[in-house]
Amino acid sequence: MIKKNYDQDVVDDFGDEWEIYNHSSCNVKELQELFSKYFCIFPWNKVVNGVGADLGCGTGRWASFVSEKVKLLICIDASNKAARVAKKNISDNKKCHIIQGRIDCLPLEDNSLDFAYSLGVLHHLPDTADALKKCVRKLKKGAPFLLYLYYALDNRPIWYYFIWKLSDFFRKIISKAPFYIKYPLSIIIALAVYFPLSRMSLLLEMLNFNVRDIPLSHYRSKSFYILRTDALDRFGTKLERRFTKKQIRTMMEDAGLANVEFSNNEPFWCAVGIKST
């Protein structure tokens, strides 16, 4: 019997989100820059002519960039809506194959993939560690796996944590609302919080101030499209888990990944490991 490791409400919420923010109108250059940050530690030399998977592909926004470097990319998402959006976005890409499927019962053979990645997905599942093991099981020995999980603010000052706790209080309230309510609320949050804080950081950076620990400084050069998307992503999701760098390393090693390496740049934490057995 397969252990259930998903929340249907979360799946449905992301399906609704990706129907609205389908990235079709997002600036390609901006997506390329985001892609470069996520994949800066990925060993592309290991996956030339490889077959891999995007586990939790959403709109398929990374697929066109990844597929340029590999033989075949299998894009999987639990949401039917998301899978349809991804299929539409990359319908002309013959090196991508879209499948609707869940992490807890992936429609792939064990030990079949030359690489895989899961970016911003597993922290929205009830059991992140078990989900990671399910993903790694599909890799061949020696195959790399790239992972992005929300960080537990373990590299931030203590006051930063309390600001996050306040935001999380509102997230828990807003995320329970119907989508037609939390969607416009997320736009208000993007306008009233994300935009002013991010642009203040941009201004301070231009004045040679260190803006690293200013909340939302990561978004200082991001478009309002990205701000809106991430505000909904953050406040519209009722299930969110966060991990320290140490916890992520332990989970990856327990899942059978070795030579774990972390990116020192935002977003935190991005890590890559190689399947050892």
- Supply 234's token pair: 């953050």
pTM above 0.75, yes or no: yes
Does a structural domain hold residue 198?
yes
Does a structural domain hold residue 3?
no
Same domain (yes/no): 225, 261:
no
Same domain (yes/no): 249, 218:
no
Same domain (yes/no): 42, 178:
no
For 168-202, the pLDDT digits (tens) are 999 999 999 999 999 999 999 999 999 999 999 99
- Supply 272's token pair: 């890559």
Alpha-carbon gap, residue 160 to 123, rounded angstroms = 20
- Supply 182's token pair: 């939390």
Identify the band that residue 203 occupies on the pLDDT scale cut at 50, 70 and 90. Answer: very high
Q: What is the SS3 assignment for 247?
A: helix
Same domain (yes/no): 133, 262:
yes
Above 60 in pLDDT, residue 34? yes
* DSSP per position, 75-105: EEES-HHHHHHHHHHTTT-TTEEEEE--GGG
- Supply 230's token pair: 């991430």
Does a structural domain hold residue 2?
no
- Domain hosting 96: range is 8-151+242-275
On average, the pLDDT of the chain sits at: 96
For 74-123, the pLDDT digits (tens) are 999 999 999 999 999 998 899 999 999 999 999 999 999 999 999 999 99
Average of per-residue pLDDT across 57-76: 96
Total number of domains constituting the chain? 2
Same domain (yes/no): 113, 18:
yes
> What's residue 277's pLDDT?
81
Q: What is the SS3 assignment for 274?
A: strand
> What's residue 2's pLDDT?
57
Same domain (yes/no): 76, 204:
no
Name the nearest CA neighbour of 233 among 85, 124, 92. Answer: 124
CATH of the domain at 22: 3.40.50.150
C-beta separation of 90 from 60 below 8 A: yes
Same domain (yes/no): 116, 22:
yes
Alpha-carbon gap, residue 85 to 21, rounded angstroms = 10
Above 80 in pLDDT, residue 3? no
